[in-house]
Structure 1
Amino acid sequence: MLLELKLFPKILVLGLLLGSCDKYEPVAPLEEELLDGPLGGLTSAQNAQFLAGDIAFNDDVFTSRSGLGPLFVATNCASCHAGDGKGTPFTTLTRFGQTDATGNQFLHLGGPQIQNRALPGYEPETVPNGATFSKFTPPAVTGLGFLQYVTDADIMAMSDPNDDDGDGISGVPNWGTLKEYLDPLDNAIAQDGKYIHRFGKKAAAYDLLQQTVDAYNQDIGIASSFDPKDVYSGLTIDPEVSDKTIRDVVAYLNTLKAPIPRNQEASQVQNGKSLFSRINCASCHRPELVTGYSPIEALSRKTFQPYTDLLLHDMGLGLDDGYTEGSALTSEWRTPPLWGLGLSPTTQGGQYFLLHDGRAHSIEEAILMHGGEAENSKNQYQSLTQSEKNDLIKFLESL
């Protein structure tokens, strides 16, 4: 009995301490505040492959022993896409060597991308004399599966190369030749042996397999069976990453959820949404698209809200870097999806780095740097009252 009485105060204090810890535990973020996470409705096998791809994308770090380098930009995928979000100036890539559709003229000098880091004993690359170049800030990677399964027919229907409707906007697809390891997607449309490409700043990548293979090769210096060329020597070497890992990462990117909009019922957001359409931003940043057939049921024939048309648009002299990819002009850029825009600072150090190279440090700065086909919308934005501008920005932040 005496022993029990001696222990009682200690047990009581311990219980009080444990109970009081609850209020100091971090509050779990809401689902709409996170960019990462899988699509709903996946099968158990799809969820398992998503997890395998998640590990390869976020946790696997390459070293010299596992094939890194000798030249590289990053050591794993998450280095550039932390939290599956946008990159920063520290992770921005440099592409060089192509000024028109005739192809890259500097592949023999390390093109199309600078590997700005090197293992000890090697020198990192620099832009060769005479080569034009552009900076590419890594984009967010969520919702990409939806974009992959928009049909070519729908993309072509949004295209208006001759501006037949007279609105000053004439978006076009980036038509390119398929890499030998690629197969056309279902519902693909070919023109003169070329297919619509849709991923990347210039829409130069056909699908998520090409995007993944290129990232391993050009960003990490890792050869695969799909692209066995070593970025340092230019020689064909044995694969340094397995086909399974490549496929797992593709599956991961395919089945990441779409960003979830927030505060949609707020009056400012509703008014901003109306203004967005009124000043014709929605002509390029299409609010709603539909997927065609996908072998992943959760992506098949689904309506979604990405705010893009997946087309190239001439953005004017201010955004002409003198560099291009595929058949795009140097001033043409694929319309970036706006979903998840308001969450960008969570992966960009608490601030914005927008446009293709991160040069805009706020949403308004990005709007004011629009030119070319977007000149009229920019001018209409400038004519809004300050209150209307605030509402439009609130709407964009809610995406």
Structure 2
Amino acid sequence: NLDSCAGCHLQPAVGGTSPPVNPQVAFATLNGAANSVPSFITANGPVREARFVKNPDGTSDGGVHDLFTIAGRSDASGCRLAQPDFEKEIAHRNVIFRIPTPVFGSGLIEQIPDQAILANQANDVPKKKALNIAGRPNIVLAGHAISGQANKNGNDGTVARFGWKAQNKSLLLFSGEAYNVEMGITNELFQTERDETRICQFAAVPNDVTKTDGKTPVEATSAIEKFALFMRFLAPPAPSPNTPGGADSIARGRNLFSDTGCALCHTPTLNTGNATVAALRNQPVNLFSDLLVHDMGPGLADGVTQGQAGPREFRTAPLWGLGKRLFFLHDGRTSDLREAIQAHRSGNFFTFNASEANAVIRIFNALRNYEKQDILNFLRSL
């Protein structure tokens, strides 16, 4: 999908999210590659990955499909890989999109203890009941109640927390998957080629492994480990005290954000535990997320299951750094923060086909215009 991590994670700096000029357009024909640019990739639009909901035989897919191949490139003589027919799949409503998640402060998120996440899940029960919000432990409830569940790792039961559906439990796993899925680089965690056509492979063995054979200088730390370390120590975003709208408006917006119920999912602060590294030990993490997955209704549903996160469920997106982002929601469908807020509401409030956020969005919509602006100013200050 691209040839560097920074190509996708560049706004407002390396480690961020989709930049203002989409590098995928130029990458499509790099070194003479014979790719067409899919309709959902535009010069001023977000960097996107594409997933097919179903396989041709009707079984579930959900995996990332390579946007581009190396066929035709000057450094890939003889490779004849075919680019997927995305327009055909779009016509059949079989394609969903994801944009890059920012990784600032991710080392702090990694060090939040599972028990802190689960304890926070049980907080504010009276407020949740007042809004018809019912907490639940790791089960899927339909309807309009805000509950949220931890997306637990199937092997060891730990709480996963990275990715749009909280599908990855650690930065190392996140790193290895991104190397393989987004850039086609095999590694110690993902050793299988994206396509096993040998003439289209640059290396007969995984591209990125620990080298101890004596034929090359010993490389005790692989590239994915170095990348995980880089992400682990990226500083969290620093909120602005007075921009936009002034300090008073931001303060009012923060209070309204809590009063409307937004903070019941977008938890302002969690804390790290007894991390090995002092810089990450017992630190506040002002991420504005509970790191749980929630049923967001039919309007945001993507039809893909990852781990225990179902087709309509998404991790509560951390809001820190929101003021520097250009595209919102998991698929980058809007650059308008107001539209992104309204997209949280979908389905009928009185049926079991509704977003958990419906009641909160109803409260938000009942606010006066200047109160809504205060909330927007607060969000943009993060």
Q: How far apart, in 1, do the equivalents of 2:100 and 2:272 lie? A: 24
What's the secondary structure of 1:308's corresponding residue?
coil
C-alpha contact (below 8 Å) 1:160/1:169 kept by paired residues: no
Q: CA RMSD in A?
A: 2.5
| Aligned 1:114-129 pairs, distance under 5 A | 114-119=65-70, 120=72, 121-126=80-85
* Aligned pair partner of 1:311 in 264, 288, 292: 292
Letter matched to residue 147 of structure 1: I
Shift of 1:374: 0.9
Match of 2:159 in 1: 196
In 1, the alpha carbon distance for the partners of 2:110 and 2:54 equals 26
Q: Does residue 356 in structure 1 map to residue 330 in structure 2?
A: yes
| Aligned CA distance change for structure 1 residues 295 and 271 (closer, same or farther; 3 Å) | same
TM superposition shift of 1:159: 2.9
Q: Percent identity?
A: 32
Question: How far apart are 1:263 and its partner, in Å?
Answer: 1.9
Q: Deviations over 1:87-126 (max 9, x none)?
A: 1644211123479xxxx844xxxx6111011112432234
Counterparts of residues 88-237 of structure 1 (less than 5 Å):
89-97=45-53, 105-106=60-61, 112-119=63-70, 120=72, 121-126=80-85, 132-159=94-121, 165-166=128-129, 167=133, 168-178=145-155, 193-233=156-196, 237=204
Q: 1:239 corresponds to which residue?
A: 206
Pair 1:131–1:283, CA change in 2 (3 A): same
SS at match of 2:341: helix
Match of 2:18 in 1: 87
Unaligned runs of 5+ residues in structure 1 are 1-72, 179-192, 345-351
Contact 1:96 1:131 in 2 (8 A): no
**Helix, strand or coil at the partner of 2:166:** coil
Pair 387,90 (structure 1): closer, same or farther in 2 beyond 3 Å: closer
Cα pair 1:133 1:322 within 8 Å, conserved: no
Q: Distance in 2 between matches of 1:285 and 1:225?
A: 35
Gaps in structure 2 of 5+ consecutive residues: 20-44, 73-79, 134-144, 211-221, 346-354
Q: Which amino acid aligns with 1:144?
A: S
Q: Which residue of 1 aligns with 2:356?
A: 373
User: 1:157 & 1:269 partners in 2: Cα distance?
Assistant: 28
* From 238, 241, 251, the counterpart of 1:260: 238
Give 3-state SS (helix, strand or coil) of 2:338's partner.
helix
Which deviates more from structure 2 when the two are superposed, residues 308-317 or residues 262-271?
A: 262-271
Task: Give the equivalent residue in structure 2 for 1:286.
Answer: 267
Deviation larger for 325-334 or 229-238: 229-238
Matched, 1:321 2:302: yes
Q: Distance in 2 between matches of 1:295 and 1:194?
A: 22
Q: Which has the higher helix share?
A: 1
Counterpart CA distance in 1 for 2:186 and 2:311 is 29
Distance change >3 Å, CA 159–CA 133, structure 1 → 2: farther
Matches of 1:338 and 1:308, distance apart in 2: 7
The number of residue pairs the alignment matches comes to 297
SS at match of 2:159: strand
Q: State how far apart, in whole Å, the 1-side matches of 2:344 and 2:381 are.
A: 21
Offset from partner CA, 1:12-55 (integer Å, 9 cap, x none) = xxxxxxxxxxxxxxxxxxxxxxxxxxxxxxxxxxxxxxxxxxxx
Is the CA contact (8 Å cut-off) linking 1:93 and 1:135 kept in structure 2?
Answer: yes
Q: Structure 2 CA distance, aligned partners of 1:308 and 1:226?
A: 28
Q: Is the 8 A contact 1:136 1:357 kept in 2?
A: yes
Q: Answer with 208-217 or 376-385: which moved more.
A: 376-385
Name the structure, 1 or 2, with higher relative contact order (CA <8 Å, separation 6+): 1
Q: CA deviation at 1:364?
A: 0.9
CA contact (8 A) 1:97 1:133 kept: yes
User: Any idea what SS the aligned residue of 2:314 has?
Assistant: strand
Q: Secondary structure at the match of 2:65?
A: coil
Match of 1:248 in 2: 226
Quote the offset at 1:131 in angstroms: 8.6
Counterpart in the other structure of 1:27: none
Max radius of gyration: which structure? 1
Task: Report if aligned partners of 2:296, 2:357 keep a CA contact under 8 Å in 1.
Answer: yes
Task: Using the TM superposition, give the Cα deviation of residue 359 of structure 1 relative to its aligned residue in structure 2, in angstroms.
Answer: 0.9
Which amino acid is 2:333 matched to? R
Q: Deviations over 1:308-363 (max 9, x none)?
A: 0000011111111212211112111000100000011xxxxxxx310000112211
Q: How far did 1:297 drift? A: 1.1
CA distance in 2, matches of 1:267, 1:208: 37
Which of 382, 389, 392 is the aligned partner of 2:365? 382
What is the deviation of 1:301?
A: 1.0
Deviations 1:213-237 (A, max 9, x none): 0000000000012211000118995
Aligned to 1:392: 375
Amino acid paired to 2:121? S
Aligned twin of 1:78: 6
